[in-house]
Structures are given as C-alpha cells and as structure tokens.
A and B are shown apart, each in its own frame.
Chain A
Amino acid sequence: MTKITMTVNGKTVSGEVEGRTLLASFLREDQGLTGTHVGCDTSQCGACVVHVDGAAVKACTMLAAEADGAEVDTIEGQANADGSLNVIQQAFQDHHGLQCGFCTPGMVMSAAALLKENPTPSEREVREYLEGNICRCTGYHNIVKAIMAASGQDVGAIAAE
C-alpha cells in the first residue's frame, strides 16, 4: 500500500492505495465521489474523464499513485460557488444534452477542456473532440448543440430541432 495525497476539487485528500488502484476507483470508492463513472475497461467511453493538473484525463487509465501531488477536478466541483449550474452544465440542461446521465460527467469535463483550448469551436471541431466520449442516448446532436451554446455561439440555426 502506498500513501498518496492530492488536491481534489480544491481540498487536500489522502489515502492508502494498492499499486493497481486506478484513479477512478480512488475517487469513487475512497473519496465517495461517484460522479466519475466507469463505463468500460479500455479507455474508450470517456464516462470517467476528470481534469488532472488542468488536462482532461480518463481516470480509469491512470493509477491513483500517479496522481500523487496533483490537482484533480471532478464533476462534483464544477458547479458555481453558489451551487448553481455552471455555463456548460446549464447549456446541457437547456439543450437536453443528456438523457440517462451516465456519460454526462465525462461529457461535461471533456467539454470544459475543449472550450479551454478552443473557446469557439465549430460543429466539426466539437464532434472530433468528443471522439473519446461515447453516449448511447442522445445521438450527440444536443450535446454538440449544448457545447456550442456554452461557447456563446448561436445554435438556433444548427438544425430544425
């Protein structure tokens, strides 16, 4: 067992982990942050995306010990300080960018990383960026719309509905 310490959503946390413990398991099981979801075992689905030192990372692919000393942000830390939805979360609700909600945390975290590096992405750029996030419910239409709306772009003309 190894002792690790990291900052999660602005708070310092520590724990004892096995070498094989994944960051996703540490967040879910040790920290009780179950908003980070595990939808596959091959780093494909993206439901577990978190930010590690500001970069989008699939938490099922990173060992918890590798995140020792890092700053980790998860879906639970995304809302505004007053508890209201942030701009991306609000756009997902306004544009029906989620259905069952399972892929949603990863989608929101990926969207945040995208908009940080490309503040006004085109539809094609959003779709290509989401290559690593699978959604089975929405057909992506409203996710793409929500992310573009969150970037401040007018999405009224994207499609009939």
Chain B
Amino acid sequence: MPKDTGIGAATVRREDVRFLTGTGEYTDDIVLAKQTYAVFARSTVAHGTIKSIDTAAAEAMPGVLAVFTGEDFAEVGGNPAGWLINSRDGTPMHEPKRPVLAHGKVRHVGDAYAAVIAETAEQARDAVEAIEAEIEELPAVVDMHDALSGSNYVHDEIGTNQCFDWGWIEDNREATDNAIKNAHHVTTLELVNNRLVPNAMEPRASIGSYKASTGEYTLHTTSQNPHLTRLLISAFVLGIPENMLTVIAPDVGGGFGSKIYHYGEEALVLAAAKKIGRPVKWTADRTESFLTDAHGRDHVTKIELALDEDGKFLAFRTDTKANVGAYLSNFSTATPTFLHGTLMAGNYTVPLVYVNVKAVFTNTAPVDAYRGAGRPEATYSLERVIDKAARELGVDPIELRRKNFIKPDQYPYASAAGLEYDAGNYDALMDKMEEVADVAGFEARRKESEAKGLLRGLGVNAYIEACGIAPSNLVGVLGSRVGLYDAATVRVNATGNLSVMVGAHSHGQGHETAFPQVVAEMLGIDPAVIDIVHGDTSKIPFGMGTYGSRSLAVCGSAVVRATEKIINKAKKIAGHMLEASEHDITLSDGVFSVSGTDKSVTFGEVALKAYIPHEYPLEDIEPGLEETAFYDPANFTYPSGAYACEVEVDPETGKVTVDRMCAVDDFGNVINPMIVTGQVHGGLAQGIGQALVENTSYDENGQLLSASYMDYTMPRADDLPMFHVDHSQGTPCTHNPLGVKGCGEAGAIGSPPTVVNAVIDALHSGGKKVTHIDMPVTPARVWNAMQDAT
C-alpha cells in the first residue's frame, strides 16, 4: 500500500489552495504604498547607433516623474557572464559589457535604451511615445554563418562576432579524427536545434523600493534565485552593499531557466526608486517577454558517429555553432559548453568524443539556459545520429543502443566526455519502456493507422543528463565564477512546529510540500507542522536557487544535513531530560526514548525545553533548536531514461500527431511521485512543443517574427496526448543522502529526438526515405520532405 505521508508519499500540494482560490501573491499582484510605474523605450531596429535621445517632451508629460537613458548608467557595471570559457588556443572568451540600458548602440529588437517613471503605467507608456530617439540603423547580424564570416560586428570593440571557439576534450581530438577516418562506418548528420522562447506564463516583473533613512533597498522580482540576483546586482552592476539589498521572489509563475538571470529592468527599478524616493514597478507585457527574456537552444550542429563492423560506437565528433545573441547572459557561456559537451558520450561506452563549439554574437535576444540547458542539445544530436546509423546499417535502433550501453557492473563509469557516472541501469529502463509503451503492439497499431490512410512511426531514445548542479570545486575548474552549493536552516519553534528556510526557490515544483515530507520522515512527525520559507534573502540562508534540477538533490541534501544536526542536539537535550547518555537515546515516531527502558520524552517536549531552558545544562548545551547546513555535492547526479513515441503522419498534409508518448526515467529515489510525474509531463509537453510546433523566427533584418502567441506556437491541450510515465527503475544516486537525482528537465531532454525519430520512421514506412527534418517538424516541412524524397 502506498505511503500517505513522508518520503515516497503522493501527498497533494499544500500550495495549491492559494493558487486555486486566486490568493497567490505574484510580483505584479503586490502594491506598495506610493508605488509608481516604469515603462521602457525599446529599440525597433536590431542594430543601430544611438545618435541622440531627446527626453524633454516626455519629461513634460502628465504624471512623469523621471526619465532614464543609457547615459545615466554609463558609470555603473554591467551584467556579467557567470562562466569564463577559454578558446582552444587558450585565449579567454570575449566578454563585452551588457549595460543596464543600451548606450552607444542598440543590439537587438527590444533592447531598452530609455525608461520612463510615472504615476500610472498608462502615463509612462504615453510618455515613452514622446521620447525622440535618433537611432541610425546598421545592417543586422542575424545568421551565424554570416556573423563569423563578415566584418559587421555586434560589438565593435572586440572586432569579431565569435565569443569563443571551445574544444572538448582537446587531448582526444587527434584520436577522434583518426577513429573517424579509419572507421568501418561513419554516419553524419547536420541538424538545427531550434531557438525557443521559454514562455513562463507569468511575464517578468520587478518592484524596486528604497528607504532613504537607512539606505536599504528592496527588490521584489520574478526570480528563480533571489540570492544570486542580489549577488549580481551588488557585486557587478549597481554596487549596492549586499546587506543593504533584500531580494524577494514571491510566488513566481514558472521560470524554465528564463528567470535565473539578472535583467537590466531589475537594476533600473532600484536606481529609479532611489532617485524619486518612491517604489517603482515594472511588469512586462507578453511581447516584451518574447523580445527580451533569454531564449533557449539555437545550435547548428554537424555530428559524426564512427562505428566498427559489429556496430560498436568508436567515436562521436561534433561541430556546433551556438548563438548567444546580442549580449552574454549569466549562464549563456556554460550552456553550450560544459552543460552540453560533457554529455556527448550519452549512455554509451564510446571511447572517444570530441566537441567543438563556436559561440556567436548576433543581433538577436540573448540566449541562455532553458529547461535542460545544453543537455537537450547533446541528447538530440546523439540520439538522432544513432537512429540514422541504425537505419543505414539496417539494425534495430533499440538493439544498437543496447549494444553500446554502459552496463550496470561498470559503475562508477568514466565517460569519454569527462564525467564520472555514479549509477544507472539503461537496459532496465529500455526493458521497462518496451513494456510500458507496448512496443510489441506497435505493428498492429501501424496497420490500424494505415487502414485510415495514415503513416505510423515509432521513435525511441535513451538519454542521460547531468544535474543536481553542481559540485563547486568541479565547476570552478571548468570556469564557473560562482559556487553551486545550497543551504537550509531548520528552526524548531518552542511549541514544536518547524520553519525550514531553504535556498531553493519554488515556482511550480512543489517544494512547500516535498521538503516537509523529508523532514517529517526523519523526525517522525506530521509534515503539516513543518512550514517552508523560501524566496526572501532576509529570511533564508545563502543558497543558490532553483535550476538544473538541483532543488532536491542539493538543497534537499542541505535540509537533511540541517535536520541531522537538529536530531543530534535534540538527543543531547533529551538525554539531559531523561538523565541518560545522549548515545542511548533513540528517535522513533517523534519520541525520544532511552534504549531498553520505558523512559521517553516527545519531540515537542524537547523543543519546549530548548527554548525554556530551566534546569538545563547551559554549560554543555546551548539553548534553542535551530541549525543551518550548507551542502555542496561531490558530483553531478545522472538521471537517465528510455522514451518511446508513436506518431501518425497524414501523407496528404504532412501533419504529425503524437498518438502515444512514454517516458521511463531513473530519478533515483522519489520523494513525492505525484509531483515527479507532473514534472515529467511538463517536460514532455515542452519537448514535443520543440519537436513539432515551437519556433523563434527572426527575419534577415533581425525583426522577431514570432513575438506573440498569435505567431509563436505554444503547445495547447489538443496538441498533446495523455502520457505514459514510469519511474519504477530508480538506481539511487550514490553520493547524496537522499539518493535522489532530479526530475525537472528530463522530459524536455528525452522527448525531442524521440518525436523526430518517430516521424522519420513513419515516413520510411510510407516508402519515403527521408533522413532528417529539422525541428519544428511542421506540416509544411514534412510535406516538402516527402515530395523531395525518393
């Protein structure tokens, strides 16, 4: 029988009640006394020289309190890249300044060059229209190939559009080249990993406020990581002392990566609040979100797979151009490199991997981590070229993968791309996938589809990802400029209930429900008495926030460590109360007992004693019951999975319908299976969206053609099937105390190649020898491929 509380229970979420009754508190819902409004003037051209900005008319408009331009921020810092990447020749990457407001040049459509603060949002919007900006349009750099070959630069001062030219693993380069040159068979594939817009449903919003009497600033903002945002603003951008800046990320309506980063609007509302002495609120509209939220993916890759005569993989070699857009965002240099290149050995015993990534500046919105961040790009390249190889060699795609899987007795396994996988069982996942997806029944379903005049295809995939980001020592060696630990404080209140302050931030992941399950299990108490506090730097310990499927693996581990400290201290107090050695005290179901006796005290009695320390050994034990732990993992965690997708293709129109989607994932131990399943569902929808409908399209002038929901296709309810999800094959992570791996990104990593593989399979079943179609696999692209195929 399933558990109904603690670790492993499908507990319904306590946070749901406020969201279901309209009483959540998102940033735009907050109204501060004497609040004013900011609206930004944004470039309508992709590339241009700012000749002049005349704000006089705007300043004279009704309700206008202040107008800012880039000139006002010329002397402050810029928003930094979080990772330093060195090129193959040893030179550091180019790192042009990303100012709060554009200064000198505008570099993408939507680049903000001025801002108006007014009494109402409407007045601010009207006044922005009155700003007279003379911007001399320059030719836009949009295509990555043109960017690298031309002499029109996004950042003139660096004299190139290439940010870096990175090789991984450089020592394997020659051996990889030789393996490919001498191989029995080489499969080559050129593909595009399409640019996506994360599209959290809540647009970004920020409110800056300032207290002149103390010099304290407060920023309410839509952030996945309030401490990281504070650090960036304090240390790099505005120079506000960290202890004078509180960052509060209240309820946040989804992030998917796009709310990791610090954005210029946050700095602007803080500076403006100080200048006018009143709070300043800014809320993006959806078009602003499309134009200025960090986008995701946008890789163009050539991948080669060398195989021997038995179908064993000998080497993977890739050549990738990664678009970083007009400016570096905080993780944009890590995403195409260490979150991508290190995964290019996949689930396989391939001995050689060589990855080359050239990062390219263009006059487009900055590109950064989006759900999966680098790992979907790695998985897509690998799993598409493996599928192509299977077809070229006439072997079963599942068998080809199985032949090359790392086997359960090979862990820990040093991958050819430089990671040490700690645990996994890819054959077991594939077995389970074949069962859950009913692969055996596929041929019968194909006949049914054919009887309806439709082509049916089956696509499969195996993926591994590195998450639980990340070991600070390791990422420090790899160029990270931050540590990636997390932190938790467990405060037992005098009356026995608990407040647990965490560095992770929940914006849909259900931390308020899942973290109490862990603490309750350890203490043997009711999770209902445990409250989670997150999102406010004035209340929580210095953690690094939520991204990279890290909340449970890293912050959850900190929660465990802090709770262990609580138990140790509580045992000392109980030992004193029971006149026994702390070593003889056991904790079970919330009761401390002396082993072998009937003497006991409850958890609540111990808590009360800690805060009312009468008859208390103050010389040996401090009063109070509150502990903090920081946890820095020893390694990444390595979730893995086997996915299957069945599509129907209408040969008359090229329309693809996903009929069945199955995800079998190894997340290690699972705390709340209901939440984990929900995370997979969401990832699958985003992955299917990438594969079939989503595309971010710039024209040759750098105008974003897909800047609204009328133009950018979001997956809707009737685009998707019910999903088959299983996580019964978990192999616990060996190095964190919960044995958990992280589940947030898996669905978005595993599904795109699965869907495309299924489409290719369907077309082959109809006699169309199509080898590849780039995502999104739209009806037009499918239909054209069918016409061109033999």
The answer, yes or no, to whether A151 is at the interface (CB within 8 Å) is no
Identify which of A35, A127, A142 contacts B681 (C-beta below 8 A).
A142
Query: Given contacts A39-B203, A136-B201, A160-B724, could you give 4 more A-B pairs where the C-beta distance is less than 8 Å?
Result: A42-B286, A45-B709, A101-B20, A133-B717
B202 — which chain A residues lie within 8 A by C-beta? 37, 39, 100, 102
Measured CB to CB, the nearest residue on chain A to B677 is A161
B510/A99 in contact, CB under 8 A: yes
B203 — which chain A residues lie within 8 A by C-beta? 38-39
Query: Once bound together, how far apart are the Cα atoms of A1 and B724, in whole Å?
Result: 54
The answer, yes or no, to whether B708 is at the interface (CB within 8 Å) is yes
A104/B709 in contact, CB under 8 A: no
Q: How far is the CB of A112 from chain B (nearest CB, A)?
A: 12
- A99-B508, A141-B722 given as contacts; is B21 within 8 A of A78 (CB)? yes
Identify which of A41, A47, A124, A159 contacts B287 (C-beta below 8 A).
A41
Identify which of B122, B254, B436, B717 contacts A99 (C-beta below 8 A).
B254
The answer, yes or no, to whether A23 is at the interface (CB within 8 Å) is no
B716/A93 in contact, CB under 8 A: no
Of B331-339, B448-456, B682-690, the segment with at least 4 beta carbons within 8 Å of chain A is: B682-690
The answer, yes or no, to whether B714 is at the interface (CB within 8 Å) is yes
The answer, yes or no, to whether B139 is at the interface (CB within 8 Å) is no
Identify which of B24, B254, B285, B724 contacts A137 (C-beta below 8 A).
B254
A37 — which chain B residues lie within 8 A by C-beta? 26, 201-202, 253
Q: How far is the CB of B238 from chain A (nearest CB, A)?
A: 29
Query: Once bound together, how far apart are the Cα atoms of A90 and B409, in whole Å?
Result: 46
The answer, yes or no, to whether A61 is at the interface (CB within 8 Å) is no
Measured CB to CB, the nearest residue on chain B to A93 is B16
Query: Once bound together, how far apart are the Cα atoms of A88 and B505, in whole Å?
Result: 28
Query: Once bound together, how far apart are the Cα atoms of A134 and B708, in whole Å?
Result: 13
Identify which of B201, B718, B725 contacts A130 (C-beta below 8 A).
B718
The answer, yes or no, to whether B678 is at the interface (CB within 8 Å) is yes
Q: How far is the CB of B694 from chain A (nearest CB, A)?
A: 11
Interface size on B, residues (CB 8 A): 63
Most chain-B Cβ atoms within 10 A of its Cβ — which of A33, A36, A76, A134?
A134
Identify which of B254, B508, B714, B717 contacts A127 (C-beta below 8 A).
B717
- A85-B17, A105-B22 given as contacts; is B716 within 8 A of A130 (CB)? yes
Q: How far is the CB of B225 from chain A (nearest CB, A)?
A: 16
The answer, yes or no, to whether A79 is at the interface (CB within 8 Å) is yes
Closest 7 CB pairs of A and B: A35-B22, A101-B19, A102-B253, A139-B685, A100-B508, A44-B709, A99-B508
Measured CB to CB, the nearest residue on chain A to B688 is A139
The answer, yes or no, to whether B50 is at the interface (CB within 8 Å) is no
- A44-B708, A100-B252 given as contacts; is B714 within 8 A of A134 (CB)? yes
A136/B287 in contact, CB under 8 A: no
- A18-B122, A37-B26, A108-B20 given as contacts; is B286 within 8 A of A159 (CB)? no
A126 — which chain B residues lie within 8 A by C-beta? 717
- A94-B12, A141-B681, A161-B677 given as contacts; is B21 within 8 A of A135 (CB)? no
Identify which of A32, A35, A38, A135 contacts B24 (C-beta below 8 A).
A35
Query: Once bound together, how far apart are the Cα atoms of A45 and B201, in whole Å?
Result: 8
B507/A159 in contact, CB under 8 A: no
Identify which of A102, A123, A136 contacts B26 (C-beta below 8 A).
A102
Identify which of A96, A101, A160 contacts B674 (C-beta below 8 A).
A96
Between-chain CB contacts (< 8 Å), 14 pairs: A38-B28, A42-B708, A47-B201, A96-B13, A96-B677, A99-B254, A102-B200, A102-B201, A136-B200, A136-B685, A137-B508, A139-B720, A141-B720, A160-B725
B678 — which chain A residues lie within 8 A by C-beta? 96, 99, 137-138, 142
The answer, yes or no, to whether A7 is at the interface (CB within 8 Å) is no
B724/A159 in contact, CB under 8 A: yes
- A98-B16, A138-B678, A159-B724 given as contacts; is B21 within 8 A of A89 (CB)? yes
Proximity bits, A68-99, B CB within 8 Å = 1, else 0 = 00000011101100000100010011101011
A residues 18-73 in Cβ contact with B at 8 Å: 18, 20, 28, 32-42, 44-45, 47
- A34-B22, A100-B200, A100-B252 given as contacts; is B717 within 8 A of A161 (CB)? no
Measured CB to CB, the nearest residue on chain A to B678 is A96
B726 — which chain A residues lie within 8 A by C-beta? 160-161
A92 — which chain B residues lie within 8 A by C-beta? 16, 20
B252 — which chain A residues lie within 8 A by C-beta? 100
Measured CB to CB, the nearest residue on chain A to B283 is A38
A35 — which chain B residues lie within 8 A by C-beta? 21-24
The answer, yes or no, to whether B706 is at the interface (CB within 8 Å) is no
Most chain-B Cβ atoms within 10 A of its Cβ — which of A28, A38, A142, A161?
A161
Most chain-B Cβ atoms within 10 A of its Cβ — which of A36, A74, A136?
A136
The answer, yes or no, to whether B294 is at the interface (CB within 8 Å) is no
The answer, yes or no, to whether A154 is at the interface (CB within 8 Å) is no
B603 — which chain A residues lie within 8 A by C-beta? none
Proximity bits, B5-43, A CB within 8 Å = 1, else 0 = 000000011011111111111101101000000000000
Proximity bits, B175-203, A CB within 8 Å = 1, else 0 = 00000000000000000000000011111
B709/A42 in contact, CB under 8 A: yes
Q: How far is the CB of B281 from chain A (nearest CB, A)?
A: 11
Proximity bits, A131-160, B CB within 8 Å = 1, else 0 = 101111111111110000000000000111
Query: Once bound together, how far apart are the Cα atoms of A73 and B707, in whole Å?
Result: 31
Identify which of B18, B254, B679 contacts A102 (C-beta below 8 A).
B254
B201/A103 in contact, CB under 8 A: yes
- A39-B201, A39-B202, A130-B717 given as contacts; is B722 within 8 A of A101 (CB)? no
B20/A93 in contact, CB under 8 A: yes
A140 — which chain B residues lie within 8 A by C-beta? 685, 716-717, 720
Measured CB to CB, the nearest residue on chain A to B506 is A100
A159/B16 in contact, CB under 8 A: no
Measured CB to CB, the nearest residue on chain B to A85 is B20
Q: How far is the CB of A46 from chain B (nearest CB, A)?
A: 10
Q: How far is the CB of A138 from chain B (nearest CB, A)?
A: 6
The answer, yes or no, to whether A117 is at the interface (CB within 8 Å) is no
- A45-B201, A100-B507, A160-B724 given as contacts; is B21 within 8 A of A76 (CB)? yes
Query: Once bound together, how far apart are the Cα atoms of A49 and B661, in whole Å?
Result: 30
A158 — which chain B residues lie within 8 A by C-beta? 722
B residues 241-256 in Cβ contact with A at 8 Å: 251-254, 256
Measured CB to CB, the nearest residue on chain B to A143 is B717
A85/B21 in contact, CB under 8 A: yes
Most chain-B Cβ atoms within 10 A of its Cβ — which of A100, A103, A127, A135?
A100
Identify which of B24, B286, B675, B720 contacts A40 (C-beta below 8 A).
B286
Most chain-A Cβ atoms within 10 A of its Cβ — which of B12, B201, B507?
B201
A47 — which chain B residues lie within 8 A by C-beta? 201
The answer, yes or no, to whether B509 is at the interface (CB within 8 Å) is yes
Query: Once bound together, how far apart are the Cα atoms of A144 and B23, in whole Å?
Result: 23
B286/A39 in contact, CB under 8 A: yes
B residues 621-662 in Cβ contact with A at 8 Å: none
B199 — which chain A residues lie within 8 A by C-beta? 136
B708/A93 in contact, CB under 8 A: no
Query: Once bound together, how far apart are the Cα atoms of A110 and B441, in whole Å?
Result: 37
Measured CB to CB, the nearest residue on chain A to B25 is A34
Query: Once bound together, how far apart are the Cα atoms of A112 and B105, in whole Å?
Result: 50
Measured CB to CB, the nearest residue on chain A to B708 is A42
- A75-B21, A160-B726 given as contacts; is B12 within 8 A of A100 (CB)? no
B710 — which chain A residues lie within 8 A by C-beta? 42, 44
The answer, yes or no, to whether B783 is at the interface (CB within 8 Å) is no
The answer, yes or no, to whether B698 is at the interface (CB within 8 Å) is no
Q: How far is the CB of A61 from chain B (nearest CB, A)?
A: 13
Measured CB to CB, the nearest residue on chain B to A135 is B201
Q: How far is the CB of A60 from chain B (nearest CB, A)?
A: 10
Query: Once bound together, how far apart are the Cα atoms of A135 and B677, in whole Å?
Result: 16
- A18-B122, A101-B15, A102-B254 given as contacts; is B725 within 8 A of A136 (CB)? no
A93/B17 in contact, CB under 8 A: yes
Query: Once bound together, how far apart are the Cα atoms of A104 and B24, in whole Å?
Result: 11
Query: Once bound together, how far apart are the Cα atoms of A7 and B539, in whole Å?
Result: 40
